Structure 1
Amino acid sequence: MAIALLTGASAGLGEEFAWQLATAGHDVVLVARSRDRLGEVARLLEGATGRHAEILPADLTTEKGRSAVAARLQADERPVSLLVNNAGFGIGERFADSSWRHEKALLDIHVTAPLRLAHAAVPGMVERGHGAILNVASVAAHLGDTTYAAHKRWAVEFTQALAGQLDGTGVTATAVLPGLVRTRFHDSDALSHVRHEFPDPVWLDPEPVVRSALAAVRRGQTVVTPSPGYAVAGAVLRVVPKRLTRGRRSQQRG
């Protein structure tokens, strides 16, 4: 039975990934910080889909949390065939104004954790001859205005490098670049203003974003932008000089 491990699975895109994968017949391993919320999501999933939902509470900004999830990915019993690196957050601060604690946590959740977990998952997948890594990046990867954007650009570059190295192994790597998505990502005080600064039509619903991402995984596609509008915007931003995309304000767009 195919098993998918998802980080940031207690809400937003992560929860939507869990629902779509369980509905499609996958057992799931749900990773997030809150045991209570994970337990609630797991009970709902199992009751509605009949699939097994394992919970793994872990804080991926810590070495202890990353090691716990890495150990699950390296387990021979009930091996994971799909890793979804989805966990993330924004701090809404300019680099000069932010604390080192906040910047380190941001780096660890967006860069260190996906790298560590992919490194734990890939050898077993290659040995078994099948598997997939899905990294949730962002259209912010095309910008040059925040450390968040820099981290998401790394996610894209890492995925492309990984996909090249995995060619012919039966294992794939995919990066999905959503834009603004209606989740709890922008509920924090630091980012709540973003909801009022962009018109409703530019906001995406989680369901089609996840559906597009999983379809790209099935095709073995390396990079996917799950919206025609954002795909066009991304194509334009890739050729626009970076000095024009370096905004004066720091805000994570999702």
Structure 2
Amino acid sequence: MSSDLPVAVLTGGSGGLVPGIAEELAKAGFAIVLTARNEDGLEAAATILRLLVEAPVVTLPSDARNALSVSSLVGQVIDQFGRIDVLVNAAASSTPIGGAIEEVDVDALIADVDVKVGGYLRYAQAVVPAMKRQGGGHIINIGGLTGRSSDTLSGLRNAAVSHLTKVLSDQLGAFQIAVNAVHPGIVRTPHLDELCAELAENRGVDVATIEAEFLAEIPSGKMLSTGQVGRMIAYLAESEDVAITGQSLTIDGGYSRGVFL
């Protein structure tokens, strides 16, 4: 398959935020490559996406933990499309790691960081040569607001994503490759629905009560949609220069209260 369209590769493509991001990128004129370990989940996400957009949507499995798998994916994309214009790094475990420090499973924490931070770096390493040859590109790393609080120990991975983003932007700016991190707030996803249901059951209340508590913490009074996050990603991806690079950008309806200069 070849296409005259710019090409966006999205990791973690079988669920979470990624289908909504992919839809907005497709509407903005990008051919879409979804990748993740779960081939069945990938194809299910792609099947729905193909009903919504006209742009090409391709699925190619890869493992963020394995450099050879990541390199193979990028080679397949180049073979099919001849280019990679945008990398959206979103592969991650959805299970938070926290609790009493004496009981933390350190190996699980390191494995979690290996998927998200190590994986982001592996995909970046793999796409950068192609982007350099093309004369530019965009790498957009999806983080999370747990990196700005001490609520959950595994939030350290999102702080590391911001650091990695800055280092990459320093090294790649001269090649017209912009690198930014996007930290979404509370986004309506199947995972959030499951979390609300679990919290409601544990507390003996209905789901609406849990959701109302979340909403009370958001100045806009609304949870985000994956499409809203996707439109922010598309805005960054469509930029023709590196005026915005090395930044940790938040989309959260005002949920985070810190002042970050």
Q: TM-score, normalised by structure 1?
A: 0.80
Find the counterpart in structure 1 of residue 95 from structure 2: 90
1:182 pairs with 185, 188, 197, which one? Answer: 188
Structure 1 residue 204 and structure 2 residue 224: aligned? yes
The offset of 1:47, in angstroms, is 3.7
- The answer for the alignment partner of 2:252 in structure 1 is 227
Q: Does the 8 Å CA contact 2:165/2:179 hold for their aligned counterparts?
A: yes
Measured after TM superposition, the shift of residue 191 of structure 1 is 9.7
Moved more, 96-105 or 36-45: 96-105
What does 1:75-114 align with in structure 2 at a 5 Å threshold?
76-77=78-79, 78=81, 79-88=83-92, 89-94=94-99, 95-114=101-120
The worse-fitting range, judged by mean Cα deviation, of 39-48 and 207-216 is: 39-48
Could you tell me how far 1:229 is from its partner in structure 2? 0.8
Q: Tell me the amino acid that sits aligned with residue 158 of structure 1.
A: L
Q: Distance in 2 between matches of 1:98 and 1:12?
A: 25
- The answer (yes or no) to whether the contact 2:62–2:73 under 8 Å persists in 1 is no
Structure 1: distance between partners of 2:75 and 2:40? 25
Which SS does the other structure have where 1:43 is aligned? Answer: helix
Seen in structure 2, the aligned counterparts of structure 1 residues 159 and 139 have a Cα distance that, compared at 3 Å, is same
Q: Distance in 2 between matches of 1:136 and 1:102?
A: 21
In structure 2, what is the Cα distance between the partners aligned to 1:52 and 1:179? 29
Kept in 2: contact 1:172–1:217 (CA 8 A): no
* Amino acid aligned to 1:45: L
Provide the C-alpha distance between the structure 1 equivalents of 2:49 and 2:228, rounded to a whole number of angstroms: 19
C-alpha separation in 1, matches of 2:169 and 2:181: 10
Residue equivalent to 1:4? 8
**Partners of 1:223 and 1:217 in 2: CA distance:** 15
The Cα shift of 1:193 comes to 2.9
How far does residue 190 in structure 1 lie from its aligned partner after superposition? 11
Counterpart residue number, 1:218: 238
Q: Which residue of 2 aligns with 1:163?
A: 169
Partner secondary structure for residue 102 of structure 2: coil
The corresponding residue for 2:204 is: none
Alpha-carbon distance change, 96 to 218 in structure 1, aligned in 2, over 3 angstroms? farther
| Other-structure match for 2:131 | 125
CA-CA distance at 1:178 after TM superposition = 1.0
Query: What is the Cα-based RMSD across aligned positions, in Å?
Result: 2.7
| Count of residue pairs brought into register by the alignment | 233
Contact 1:213-1:226 within 8 A present in 2 as well: no
In percent, how many aligned pairs have the same letter?
27
Give, in angstroms, the shift of residue 100 of structure 1. 4.2
State which drifts further: 34-43 or 218-227. Answer: 218-227
Contact 1:9/1:31 (8 A) holds in 2: yes
Contact 1:176 1:225 in 2 (8 A): yes
Q: Which residue, out of 28, 38, 43, partners 2:42? A: 38
Structure 1 position 192, deviation (Å):
4.1
SS of aligned partner of 2:251: coil
The Cα of 1:19 is off from its aligned counterpart by: 1.0
Q: Which amino acid aligns with 1:184?
A: P
Q: 1:186–1:48: structure 2 CA closer, same or farther, 3 Å change rule?
A: closer
For 1:138, give the aligned amino acid. Answer: G
The Cα shift of 1:152 comes to 0.3
